Structure 1
Amino acid sequence: MKNIPTLYEWAGGKEVLEGLTKLFYEKVLQDDLLYPVFKNMSAEHTRHVAHFIAEVFGGPALYTQGDSGSHAKMVAHHIGKLLTEEQRQRWIHLLLQSADELKLANDPEFRSALVAYLEWGTRIAVINSNLTDNPLQPEAPMPKWGWGEPGGPYQSEE
């Protein structure tokens, strides 16, 4: 495969990611473990999270430019929340459940990259949730996530 798509492109782009986070946060608000953490989220929260993921996955700068966010601002939202390992695991479970329901790309390479990112990001969120100050400078770069190994989506040998 000569032109390997970004994870953003392979997932289906902005509308797909916005649909994913919308469905996901509907589940979160019905979940006894996660509801207390998210009950006061803004009306724009689901879109901001979709745009953050889009940008991290190689899409346009929807979060940093369109939503006026930054990696440091995303981290700041977690400071002092005291998230637990159980909440982290439930968050991932509900997001992957939502991805399955929406029939988000489910080839092994994409799912591996998605799960790896969710594991990495949620573990950092838990660490930051136990801090009192943001460890990132305002100009900290956005994370960028790619395919990992072997690189690119699964393609049959045909």
Structure 2
Amino acid sequence: MRPSVFEAAGGGTALLALARAHHARCLADPELNHPFSHDDQHPQHVERLAAYWAEVLGGPPEYSASCGDQPALLRMHAGNGEMTDLGRRFVDCFVAAADDAGLPQDPELRAVLRAYMEWAVDDVLTYSDPGVPVPAAAAVPRWSWDGLQA
């Protein structure tokens, strides 16, 4: 049986390294720096991000059990207005962070990770205009080798 994307990436330790590397890249980016340097950011932001990505990619439901749900995550990112090219920059940082974190170089894994993040950014940006309602109920998405799972 094929391992989950979570397992193929290296599990929780690898996704924590990815979240740390991604956060560092976002802080270093002149445009992404501002949203990533707020003082009101949760003190365990990186760990929570890693738990979210782990759950999405087939790992344990730690994010849902201890951090929040999908509507809360969407509300956190909603209503920020025009994002210009922040979404593309976010994806570029994610792709580069996979190298920084030492994730496997497997081209199929890297393509799946990029496809997930492009979808995730598009999904979050759906709620970027002020006043756009965020769903009251939604499950944490699940992403596999075949993309978004129903």
TM-score by length of 2: 0.89
Equivalent residues in 2 for 1:1-158 (5 A)? 3-40=1-38, 41-67=41-67, 69-138=68-137, 140-148=138-146
| Greater CA drift, 88-97 or 129-138 | 129-138
How many residues are paired up?
145
Q: 1:83 to 1:106 in 2, by over 3 A?
A: farther
Deviation, structure 1 residue 83: 4.9
Task: Choose 1 or 2 for highest CA Rg.
Answer: 1
Q: List per-residue Cα deviations over 1:96-132 (Å, max 9, x = no partner).
A: 1110122212212211211111110001112212242
Aligned-partner residue type, residue 110 of structure 1:
L
* Contact kept in structure 1, 2:21 and 2:100, CA below 8 Å: no
Separation in structure 2 between the aligned mates of residue 79 and residue 115 of structure 1, nearest angstrom: 22
Aligned-partner residue type, residue 107 of structure 2:
P
Give unmatched runs, 5+ long, in structure 1.
Answer: 150-158
Aligned-partner residue type, residue 7 of structure 1:
V
- RMSD of the TM alignment (CA)? 1.6
Q: List per-residue Cα deviations over 1:36-70 (Å, max 9, x = no partner).
A: 11211222111111111100111001100032x11
Separation in structure 2 between the aligned mates of residue 107 and residue 85 of structure 1, nearest angstrom: 31
Q: 1:62 to 1:134 in 2, by over 3 A?
A: farther
TM-score by length of 1: 0.85
Structure 1: which 4+ aligned runs deviate by more than 6 Å? none
* Contact kept in structure 1, 2:78 and 2:130, CA below 8 Å: yes
Deviation, structure 1 residue 21: 0.7
Separation in structure 1 between the aligned mates of residue 113 and residue 84 of structure 2, nearest angstrom: 19
Give unmatched runs, 5+ long, in structure 2.
Answer: none
Q: Secondary structure at the match of 1:129?
A: coil
